[in-house]
Structure formats: structure tokens, C-alpha cells
Chains A and B, each alone.
Chain A
Amino acid sequence: MTTLTKEIKKEEKKVPVRGMMDNVMEQFESAANQIKLHPNIKKILSITNNEIIVNFPVKMDNGDVEVFTGYRVQHNNALGPYKGGLRYHPTVDIDAARALAMWMTWKTSLAGLPYGGGKGGIKLDPSKYSQSELERITRRFTYALADNIGPEHDIPAPDVNTNSQTMAWMADTYMSTRPPAQRSANQHVVTGKPAGSGGLEGRDRATGYGVYLSIKFWAEKNAQVLTDKKFIVQGFGNVGYWAAYFLEQDGAKLVAVQDANGSIQNPKGIKVEDLYNYSQINEGSIVSFPQAQPVDNDKFFGLDCDICIPAALGNQITKDNASKIKAQLIAEGANGPTNVEGEKILLKRGVTIIPDILCNSGGVVGSYFEWLQNRNGELWQLNEVMAKLDKKLKESFDKVYDYSRQEGIDMRTAAYCIAIQRIERAYVQRGIFP
């Protein structure tokens, strides 16, 4: 560690705001202490590499010009190009992007990908703009970011209020700014594109499939079978639905679901496809599904089950409900569903938690596959994608599981330790320029 002695000037970079992502920061601190992270590397990882703010004008449908503010925060690229989503939302700002970019650094590192972490977006309310205005806003933002993004430098992806269409516009705009002979070699500047425009087959199910695989790997390690295991799912969006779909294929039984509208249960089992089809004709809601009974929303996490999958939002398992949970396994499909107090209670009770950073990493691995596919000029079939996901996620799961056993620590701390150690190793090997 003799090469890392130069002090970083504090005024050169900003420290991320803690308030928003207290849990993540606390985990970073805890893991840094656990692995005795070198203070110089801790200094580097506590701050962002680059923060880009662009103000750009766009002509509206009525002829007026509006000026928008866009952000891109690049936290760390020790392992490879920055990777992370772009969100369109009124609350987007540099502080928000900073914390989320840092989280992406840990996530990509743990997944064993050659990526760093980034995040960004535009401060706007998309419901106030037409489709053609959103297209012009996206294209002009891409142009304003210019060489601050790139297929080997910083690769955005969809996030809140951005989708495959947004990514298709970004890719097209970025490619159009390159010399003609280089255009098609730049398609991997973004991931999350539509399948017909360089996107990945099966990208829609990648995160949910990863949640299912994490549960399957855990069961294998513990000599258990999934057949007849009862599970509950909070959130019946992309992640919750696909996780339930694959678990059911393996013989497990969905016994309760909660979405934004309410909660239902059936101890004898709920058919995943029937519930999905019902929700499609019921404005997206699972409430009043004929083959289930309503259940109190407050009692949802205390329902009888073997596996609990919080796949909606953060801060769901807390000190108020952790002691009532019957499941022996929590698979975190959402980001941050278990808070620090809730986790302490669960761990004390011997409940295993597969942490979000590992459990829902199928999405970012899927993005990596799309990037690789474009970069190599290939088109992968769905079964090939699923097989590759299986292999990649098994590697990450085994590393975290084995490390947690070896060190006698929980899987979340183990995941952060592995993620941070991987970045630390890169700095130790490379040293600091000059």
C-alpha cells in the first residue's frame, strides 16, 4: 500500500449526501471496517469522480423554448465504464444522483462486472410533455452530454420514467453524432434498448429470474427443495411477477400477494398466471382476485410462509414487523426493503436475508449481456441469455454465501465486503497516477 499516500484535496470533490441512503452508507462503513479498508481507498470511494450538470434548450410543440437541467454523476470507474440509470423526475438533482451512483458501484462490483457506478437524469415531470417533446428533450440531453457518455466510458440505462423507447432515442442520437463508419460500433452506448434495436431477449424477466435463482441457490446450499415451499410476494410488477412465475415452475406455492391496492391470500395456493391475467383486466390490481381472500395490509408480512419476497419498495421490514415474520428466508427483490433495525431482529432470530445488492442484480447482469452482445456484433437467443444469467448469478451467490460462512457474518455485510474488496484490489494493483 505504499503507492497510495497522496492526500486527496477535499475541495476537489463533493461528499455524497447521507440522508437519502443512510442504510447504504452504514453498510459501506460496516463493510469497510470489517475488511479494514485502507483509509486512502476509503477516501476515494467516499466521493464521486465526476459530476456533470448540463442546461439545454428544447423547442416545445407550441413553439416556445424551455430550458432543462440534466445531471450525470460518475462515482467510480476503477473496474470499468460507469454504469447506471437515467431517471426523469422532478426530484432529480445532483445529491440524489450522487448517492445512487455510489450504490451502483457496489452493485456492479459484486456482480463481477467490468463496470463502475453512475446515475443521472433530467429534472422534469414527464406527464406534462408530449411524446414528441420527450423525444426532443432526450435527444438534446444526449447531445449535451456529448463525450461524457460513451460505450466504453459511461453507459446509461432506464430508470424511473425512462424506458426502452428513451434508450432507443439516446442510442440513435449518440450514434448519429459519430463519423458514419463508427456509428454501428456505438450501439452499446446505452442498455435497455428494445429487443429489435439491439436490446436483449429476456431483459424483462432478468431481475425476477435472478431473485428466483438466489432462492434456488440458497435452497441447494441448505439441502432443501422448493417443492411445496410457501412464499409471499410484495409487489406484482416485473420483479415480483417473474420471481413468482419461476418459483411456481419449481413447485413452490404462492400463498399471498400485496400490491399498491391491497393484499390477498390463499393458503392452498394462488396460480401465478391466473393472477397475472386477472390483474391485466383489473387495471393492474390484484385486489378481489376470485381465487383468494383479502387480508389486512398490516398482517401481510406476518402471514404463514417459508419464503418472503419484498419486491416493491424500501423500508418494509422494520422493528415493527420483523418479529412477526414467519419466513425463514427473505429474498430482497426491491431496493432496501429491510431497514437496519428490522435486519438486526431477523438475524437474531436466525432468519436468512439474501440482500438486495445480490438478489436483484439480475437486471444489471442482463444489461451487461446486452452491452456484450452489441459490442461483439451478436444476437443471443432467450435460452442462451437465461443460461448465462444462471452461471453469472451462481458465481456471485456462491462467493457471498461462502464468505459469509467463512467469516461468520451476515450475507449483506459479506456482499459489501466482496464488492469493496474487488475495487480495493484494482487500486492496489494499479496504484494512483502519477
Chain B
Amino acid sequence: MNHINICPSCLHMSSCVLTTQKDKVWSCSEYDEKGFEENHLPENQVLNKTVKLETELV
């Protein structure tokens, strides 16, 4: 069973062209949490990739 699935909470879920296997994604550079950046980052930083949420596996 695949437990990790980040697509359902991603802003791009409905329009994303990267994969049709949206139940198998556990890491993605394009991931944006729905409503997260707008709620939690200053306005001038939203969608600015230099400060985009770090989603790399460290």
C-alpha cells in the first residue's frame, strides 16, 4: 500500500501535466500546498522560487 501521496493537497492537482499517477508522488519540485504560501509567506515572496518551500529530501 502506498501511504505517501502529496498530490491531493497540491495547488496544481487539477491542472498538472507532469504525471497521471497522482497516487504515487512522494516528492515533487513543483509541489505547492493549497493555500499554504498565500497564508504563510509574505505577499512579495509568494511563488518566488528563490524562497519557495524546500521540498527536497535532505
Contacts and interface: CB of A to CB of B under 8 A. Distances in A.
B53 to A, nearest CB: 5
Interface in A226-280: 234-241, 258-263, 276, 279-280
Nearest to B19: A313
Interface residues of A, number: 69
A95 B1 CA distance: 10
A134 B41 CA distance: 13
A411 B42 CA distance: 42
Contacts of B54: 158-159, 162-164, 192, 238
A48 to B, nearest CB: 15
A287 B39 CA distance: 25
A307 interface: no
A355 to B, nearest CB: 14
Contacts of A235: 18, 28-30
A24 B35 CA distance: 32
Contacts of A360: 56
A159 B19 contact: no
A198 B24 CA distance: 35
Contacts of A236: 29, 49
Contacts of B57: 84-85, 100, 103-104, 107, 159, 335, 363-364
Contacts of B26: 20, 96, 100, 314, 335
B9 to A, nearest CB: 6
Nearest to A84: B58
A315 B3 CA distance: 16
Contacts of A239: 29, 56
A80 interface: no
B12 A127 contact: no
A161 interface: yes
A313 B56 contact: no
Interface in B1-58: 1-6, 8-9, 12, 15-19, 21, 24-36, 39-40, 47-58
A384 interface: no
A57 interface: no
B21 A160 contact: no
Contacts of A224: none
Contact of A280 (B5, B48, B58): B48
Contact of B29 (A84, A237, A367): A237
A100 B3 CA distance: 11
A313 B27 contact: yes
Given A157-B58, A161-B33, A313-B30, A127 B39 contact: yes
A126 B36 contact: yes
Nearest to A207: B56
A315 B48 CA distance: 27
A160 B29 contact: no
Contacts of B50: 204, 238
A17 B58 contact: no
Given A20-B2, A131-B40, A279-B49, A311 B29 contact: yes
B6 A160 contact: yes
Interface string A89-116: 1111101100010011001000000000
Closest 10 CB pairs of A and B: A237-B29, A157-B58, A127-B35, A313-B28, A284-B47, A260-B12, A260-B30, A235-B29, A158-B54, A96-B4
